[in-house]
Amino acid sequence: MRSPAKSRNPDYQLETERMNEKVEVFIDGEKIAETQNAIKLFEEGHDPVIYIPKNDIKAVDFVKYDDYQCPYKGSAKLYTIKHGSHEHENAAWTYEEPYDEVLELKGRVAFYPDKVQEIRVT
């Protein structure tokens, strides 16, 4: 069930949904994340984004790539993913201190679908 988030801008739509499905993320042929505790964010003008708890991510290192300030969700950190000898530049992000409207995102990581091999939902 979706939960509408009260946006700092009442004309901007944000909704979160706890997912019951299993979510797996693959890079370079290896599963790097698996969870049944994901949250999907629906945001006006964007494709839905899946956020995975950091504790459910394995076998990669996150190297800070940049910072980003979202007017609706808060301050984000962008990361390059190091997996084995490969680096996937600007492949993931997290909101360490999200605005209260999307507090559920805290401690979770999202991946750019075009920067990882696959995000599988079953």
What are the chain's domains? 2-121 (2.170.150.40)
Please give the pLDDT value at position 52: 98
First to last CA, the chain: 17
Question: Which of the pair, 18 or 7, is modelled with greater confidence?
Answer: 18
pTM of the full structure? 0.91
Beta carbons within 10 angstroms of residue 67's beta carbon: 10
pLDDT in tens, 83-117: 999 999 999 999 988 998 899 999 999 999 999 99
Sort 72 into a burial class: Cβ within 10 Å, 0-12 / 13-18 / 19+. Answer: middle
